[in-house]
Amino acid sequence: MKLAVITDSSADFAEKYKTYQNLFVLDIPISIDGVDYDLQKISHEEWYDLMAKAQEVPKTSQPSVAELDSLLKDLEKQGYTHVLGLFLPAAISGFYQNIFYLQSEYEQMKVLFPETFITSSPLGYMVETVLDLAEAGAEFDEIIAKFEEQREGDRAYMLVDDLHWLAKGGRLSNGAAVLGTLLNIKPVLTFSTEGKVEVFEKVRTAKKTMSRMKELLLKEVQEPSDYKVYVIQTRAEERAQELYDFALSQGFDDVEIVTFGPVIATHLGLNTVAYGISPKK
């Protein structure tokens, strides 16, 4: 088996995987104040600076279907036998529906684009798992089974400090954002079973939301050592450290503080913090 893995720039994964010759990343176009940016050439912190100074709402759009089609043609010519595409959930982006037909267009390759239902570091962790298994000689069916196990066990809970970012991105009405701000509501957001970002619970004050996120972390797992935990933040270092320290104190032995990439940060805003919980590789 010769396996290629394709993902998009919403996925964040460890630096070493960026050198893998069988990993391909489709760019999600992104712009601020009418200027387009290459996500391969801008750091997360540089993007946060741009967000903080932006006069207009940052904009993202879908990856190029034509680029994916061209890539698949090249992979077929290079002798790849299997292709696994792990992209933004269909509930977040229309890209998935637009590329679905490509799975049956290549007679010489098995092409599969399964729903992921999550993004950011948990999506990147799925990509890492697939690459590790392929490198270890696992069969395609075994790789898919492990992917599905991770997908079923993935959870994410997010504290969004400023509801206006969700309103700007069309995820929340301006009226609801204003009311939420006036009432000091700091909702816990999550990914639904369909991969949609939704309000899990409305909580008053960030302190109470932080406490609730800790409760949810413990509720979602039976054996902490079986899970990888990401604490993901956009300039919410103190809250991230608090969640990190709590996870370690509860017996989680694989905890990492990371940052949201530009695509997801654009919709969640600055001073956001999250737990991403994934079954280990």
User: Using CA atoms, how far apart are residues 234 and 274, in angstroms rounded to an integer?
Assistant: 9
Residue 50: its pLDDT value, please? Answer: 94
Tell me the CATH number at 132: 3.40.50.10170
Which one of 150, 170, 194 terminates a domain? 150
Same domain, 145 and 14: yes
Same domain, 240 and 141: no
Same domain, 272 and 195: yes
**For the chain, what is the domain count?**
2
Q: What b/e string do you get for 116-139 counting C-beta neighbours within 10 Å, with b at 16 or more?
A: bbbbbbbbbbbbbbbbebbeeebe
**Between β-strands 30-32 and 35-37, what pairing exists: parallel, antiparallel or unpaired?**
antiparallel
Same domain, 131 and 14: yes
Same domain, 70 and 135: yes
Same domain, 171 and 81: no
Q: Establish if 52 belongs to a structural domain.
A: no
Same domain, 215 and 244: yes
Same domain, 182 and 235: yes
Q: Establish if 165 belongs to a structural domain.
A: yes
- For residue 61, the SS3 value is coil
Full strand arrangement of the beta sheet holding 30-32: 35-37, 30-32, 59-60
3-class SS string, the chain: CCEEEEEECCECCCHHHHHCCCEEEECCCEEECCEEECCCCCCHHHHHHHHHHCCCCCEECCCCHHHHHHHHHHHHHCCCCEEEEECCCCCCCCHHHHHHHHHHCCCCCEEECCCCCCCHHHHHHHHHHHHHHHHCCCCHHHHHHHHHHHHHHCEEEEECCCHHHHHHCCCCCHHHHHHHHHCCECCEEEECCCCCEEEEECCECHHHHHHHHHHHHHHCCCCHHHEEEEEEEECCHHHHHHHHHHHHHCCCCCEEEEECCHHHHHHHCCCEEEEEEEECC
Same domain, 131 and 266: no
Residue 267: its pLDDT value, please? Answer: 83
Q: Establish if 37 belongs to a structural domain.
A: no
Residue 58: its pLDDT value, please? Answer: 85
Report whether 120 contacts 264 (CB < 8 A). Answer: yes
User: Using CA atoms, how far apart are residues 57 and 174, in angstroms rounded to an integer?
Assistant: 13
Residue 91: its pLDDT value, please? Answer: 86
Residue 175: its pLDDT value, please? Answer: 35
Q: Establish if 12 belongs to a structural domain.
A: yes
Q: Establish if 267 belongs to a structural domain.
A: yes
Q: Establish if 178 belongs to a structural domain.
A: yes
- DSSP one-letter code for 79: T
Which one of 117, 150, 183 terminates a domain? 150
Model pTM? 0.91
Q: Establish if 51 belongs to a structural domain.
A: no
Residue 281: its pLDDT value, please? Answer: 86
Low-confidence ranges of the chain (pLDDT < 50): 170-183
Same domain, 188 and 91: no
Residue 173: its pLDDT value, please? Answer: 40
User: Using CA atoms, how far apart are residues 280 and 221, in angstroms rounded to an integer?
Assistant: 12
Same domain, 143 and 158: no
Same domain, 176 and 236: yes
Which residue segment(s) compose the domain that 89 sits in?
Answer: 1-27+62-150
Residue 40: its pLDDT value, please? Answer: 85
